[in-house]
Structure 1
Amino acid sequence: MRLEHDLLGELEVPESAYWGVHTARAVKNFNISGVSIGHYRSFVRALGYIKEASALANHELGELSTDLFEPIRQACIEVRDGKFDSEFVVDAIQGGAGTSTNMNANEVIANRALEIVGHKKGEYQFIHPLNHVNISQSTNDVYPTAIKVSLIIELNALLAEMKLLRESFAAKASEFASVIKMGRTQLQDAVPMTLGQEFSTYDITMGEDEARIREVIRLLSEINLGGTAIGTQLNTPDGYARSVTKHLSQITEHEFLLAENLIEATQDTGVFVSASSVMKRVAVKLSKIANDLRLLSSGPRAGFGEINLPPQQAGSSIMPGKVNPVIPEVVNQIAFTVIGNDLTVTMASEAGQLELNAFEPIIARSLMMSITYLRRGCATLRTLCVDGITANVEYLRMTVENSIGLVTAISPRIGYENATAVAKEAQATGKSVREVVLQMKLLTSEEFDAILGDVNRLTGRR
């Protein structure tokens, strides 16, 4: 053990630990979720980026000497490259507006920098976590910026998975382009369509959500780095805010913009509400798609039975042969979680007071969870479900021929009144629309078959 101290007194810290006294107290105080900040690779990476950008700006402006800058920068690079994720041990849910997270980063970087120059961990008289690593910074500009950098990394990864899922839906739309079926409104037979048209809507709706995510990424690119405690830039040299923003943009290869009013930007969490809202939108629409897949594959003999989902596991401990739609079901549960997280983000954002929002840790945790679940859910839905879907082509055609909804397609030829009479007779007798139409001599067999055979006209394709 080694002995470290803070304003509360002395505390023993494991000799091998790169974190120090401030982190140790936070670990003791916040045994909440069991999930540490080190669990989120992108968040630790973001902290490394920010601390490196700050070191570059301070060195550029003469606030950090070269002998301090070089080891601190090297330590920052190692942190962002993932070498010390296990040292970020503070619980993701914490009091203090993220101060414990910032302290954890400062201590890990300082102790690694000390090692680099040949000193022992804890010999802060040479490189200090606050005097040197945290120079020109406050938790109140570092932490929210880290959330934004991390969210941009995660959202880009989510976009990549959404694109792959969208392409999978597009491939199925092409595969099923000529498979005719009955469309439904309010779960009742409506008018004919193709199964390809049904799957093409999933392709399009995913593309719309990708566009919304790109809009949020642009909003997240505005940061308050350099504002320090409340946005007044206290304890920073002239030009620091613009310099650190420039360096952050360069090392992340993403353009960040310094907020026009740093005081407003420090207390405003509206962008996180927007990001959460988009995640909820994605979740809701994915869940609707999952609902459709469960319905269309239901049965297989006593349900819709229109498509077949690839079987992934036995569905029952008591019913032999039963297979459940487990992949769409897990997507539904992801959606429920994301919707709940959105409420958490909303409440936490509303609870901000005066110059700071103290509840950004739960905002970060909720958003990270939502994005991670959605990304993994998209990959799971694509690889274990959508890619392997098949259609019951002959059954689908039979349902069109037997559906009373087919009268809508022939009503322009026989008139609305006759179509209504056909529907009533078919409903009452159980006969097909074709049988009733021929029985009433409203169309010949050839005329009826020509209408049904014109898939393009039936389904509105031109």
Structure 2
Amino acid sequence: MAHMTASSLLETIGARTETDFMGARKIPAAAYWGIQTLRAVENFSITGTTISVYPLLIRALAQIKHAAVLANFELGLIDQTKKDAIQQACENIEQGQLLDQFVVDVIQGGAGTSTNMNANEVIANRALEILGLDRGEYSTIHPNGDVNMGQSTNDVYPTAIRIATIQGTQSLLSAMAHLRRALERKAAEFDDVVKMGRTQLQDAVPMTLGQEFSTYAVMVDEDERRIREGLVHLHEINLGATAIGTGINTHREYAANVCAHLRRITGLPLVTSSNLVEATQDCGAFVLFSGMLKRVAVKLSKVCNDLRLLASGPRAGFAEINLPPRQAGSSIMPGKVNPVIPEVVNQVAFDVIGNDLTITMAAEAGQLQLNAFEPIIARSLFASLTSLTSACTSLADLCIDGITANKEYLRTQVEASIGVVTVLNPLIGYDAATTIARQALASGRSVTSLVLESGLLTAHELDEVLRPERLANPQSDSGERALA
């Protein structure tokens, strides 16, 4: 097929003409977006990824426009016919319709104006269609005059980011809880599996594999709590601020009215900032929340580092646990299986940490009454939320659930380790423990065999002191009584 130019495409599918202060342009007749969206598409060919990949952001934009038209109607600023059509158009988008009409790039200049105008134009043209009119007949319903009434990109866009982030975080929290439960199940399964604990990669003292996995579960649980705490700050919005926070071109009751409607539509306990000038320029809440996501990423990566170490081998590594095999690990080495799920989670963590730096720099770069760099903040936040959610689910389902322990090998390591002498120290004394440790190092024999040979403890006493429940809780009364 011969290459079809933009002009010939317009001729084939039909076009309408729209005009802005820069001039007139042809718009595909079937498009719900208009001239300002077209200019944005032409100006910002950056990532090749459009804002439609973030349906929660599109939904949040529609919810804001929905709340705005209701507020403006109640204040007598827009008539019933326009209100009903715009409201229905917003509801269509809230339900997931017309997502393919949100075509501007996720990275854009203009502080998000292109995203806001894309929403305004799609809603206006859908409202015109509802009224039985042609798209582009803006004399009836105008993207700026009607859909954007009482608003500015500078209060709509950051409010939409907040709402989308809050809603998107629910999926992350569910995935984290799913991972935590998988770790808790594995901790219970390994509750009686004795192993050596390590500090600085050197033998330390005995513990149980269950304790090791329960630690990971607690780490995830702590981060679930921190994420919920971080979300609180995102519920403060600047809707009603318009351009710089003074509320220019809005009714004096608009800010409170629109926030009340938005609370009802979203089901979120949103509040209007007490200082809209400050709220319009300050991106601190995004920096704080991104830091929470980075904390999750760092901890997940640490867990995955441990899993890769503990499963290293199968003959020349730690070989304490076995990760479920997922795919062939080499194009040249037969039989090699790699820890691919922990590896991919590590890489997600690196990406989230990078996103956090991007958000930090974007927030810092704001000048005077507005931060122009919220599009990259939005992209980075949503990317981190999406990848962390998938990472938690993948780690739970494709790795943690299938882990097995090499129990006998772990027990042998404990018995052979010099570190076990620390457990025996209160029973045989420091000097005797030092002598046993020295002999074990020199001879290569196990601490337990040397203790038995020396008559310092009986086999029964050794079995009692090395019981899994006592190693896991060496200060327990039950363990002390058993040795009495």
Question: Match of 2:194?
Answer: 180
| Residues in 2 aligned to 1:4 and 1:234: alpha-carbon distance in whole angstroms | 28
| Residues in 1 aligned to 2:241 and 2:106: alpha-carbon distance in whole angstroms | 24
Q: 1:327-378: CA deviations, max 9, x gaps?
A: 0000000000000111000000000111000000000000100110000100
Query: Structure 2, unaligned stretches of length 5 or more?
Result: 1-14, 477-484
Q: 1:377-420: CA deviations, max 9, x gaps?
A: 00111110111111111111111111111000001111112212
Question: Match of 2:377?
Answer: 363
Question: Match of 1:459?
Answer: 472
| Residues in 2 aligned to 1:63 and 1:19: alpha-carbon distance in whole angstroms | 25
Aligned residues of 2:208 and 2:471 also touching (Cα < 8 A) = no
User: Aligned partner of 1:105: which letter?
Assistant: A
SS at 1:324 equivalent: coil
| Residues in 1 aligned to 2:450 and 2:82: alpha-carbon distance in whole angstroms | 90
User: Aligned partner of 1:259: which letter?
Assistant: S
Q: CA RMSD in A?
A: 0.9
User: Aligned partner of 1:378: which letter?
Assistant: C
Question: Match of 1:149?
Answer: 163
Question: What's the CA shift for 1:322?
Answer: 0.7
Alignment equivalent of 1:132, drawn from 146, 159, 167: 146
| Residues in 2 aligned to 1:85 and 1:23: alpha-carbon distance in whole angstroms | 14
| Residues in 1 aligned to 2:28 and 2:439: alpha-carbon distance in whole angstroms | 84
Question: Match of 1:290?
Answer: 304
- Amino-acid identity (%): 61
| Residues in 1 aligned to 2:81 and 2:363: alpha-carbon distance in whole angstroms | 41
Alignment equivalent of 1:168, drawn from 164, 182, 190: 182
SS at 1:11 equivalent: strand
Alignment equivalent of 1:224, drawn from 238, 245, 248: 238
SS at 1:310 equivalent: coil
Question: What's the CA shift for 1:147?
Answer: 0.3
Alignment equivalent of 2:405, drawn from 391, 395, 407: 391
Question: What's the CA shift for 1:41?
Answer: 0.9
Alignment equivalent of 1:435, drawn from 438, 444, 449: 449
| Residues in 2 aligned to 1:144 and 1:382: alpha-carbon distance in whole angstroms | 33
| Pairs within 5 Å for 1:188-199 | 188-199=202-213
Aligned residues of 2:65 and 2:90 also touching (Cα < 8 A) = yes
Question: Match of 2:430?
Answer: 416
| Residues in 2 aligned to 1:391 and 1:440: alpha-carbon distance in whole angstroms | 33
Question: Match of 1:26?
Answer: 40
User: Aligned partner of 1:455: which letter?
Assistant: P
Alignment equivalent of 1:74, drawn from 56, 70, 88: 88
Question: Match of 1:91?
Answer: 105
| Residues in 2 aligned to 1:307 and 1:6: alpha-carbon distance in whole angstroms | 65
SS at 2:192 equivalent: coil
| Residues in 2 aligned to 1:177 and 1:239: alpha-carbon distance in whole angstroms | 61
Alignment equivalent of 2:116, drawn from 86, 102, 105: 102
User: Aligned partner of 2:145: which letter?
Assistant: N
User: Aligned partner of 1:43: which letter?
Assistant: L
| Residues in 1 aligned to 2:133 and 2:462: alpha-carbon distance in whole angstroms | 90
**Structure 1 runs of 4+ off > 4 angstroms?**
none
Q: 1:112-133: CA deviations, max 9, x gaps?
A: 0000000111111111000100
Alignment equivalent of 1:6, drawn from 10, 16, 20: 20
1:58 equivalenced with 2:64 (yes/no): no
Question: What's the CA shift for 1:455?
Answer: 2.3
SS at 2:19 equivalent: strand
User: Aligned partner of 1:440: which letter?
Assistant: S
| Residues in 2 aligned to 1:459 and 1:275: alpha-carbon distance in whole angstroms | 36
Question: Comparing 79-88 with 101-110, which one deviates more in the overlay?
Answer: 79-88
Alignment equivalent of 1:349, drawn from 341, 358, 363: 363
| Residues in 1 aligned to 2:363 and 2:61: alpha-carbon distance in whole angstroms | 22
SS at 1:189 equivalent: strand
Question: Comparing 99-108 with 424-433, which one deviates more in the overlay?
Answer: 424-433
| Residues in 1 aligned to 2:435 and 2:26: alpha-carbon distance in whole angstroms | 88
User: Aligned partner of 1:321: which letter?
Assistant: G
| Residues in 2 aligned to 1:263 and 1:234: alpha-carbon distance in whole angstroms | 11
Question: Match of 1:234?
Answer: 248
Question: Match of 1:380?
Answer: 394
Question: What's the CA shift for 1:445?
Answer: 2.9
| Residues in 1 aligned to 2:171 and 2:459: alpha-carbon distance in whole angstroms | 56
Query: Structure 1, unaligned stretches of length 5 or more?
Result: none
Q: TM-score, normalised by structure 1?
A: 0.98
Alignment equivalent of 2:225, drawn from 211, 214, 217: 211
Question: What's the CA shift for 1:80?
Answer: 1.5
Question: What's the CA shift for 1:443?
Answer: 2.2
Aligned length: 461
Alignment equivalent of 1:261, drawn from 252, 257, 275: 275
Alignment equivalent of 2:63, drawn from 25, 44, 49: 49
Question: Match of 1:315?
Answer: 329
Question: What's the CA shift for 1:440?
Answer: 3.1
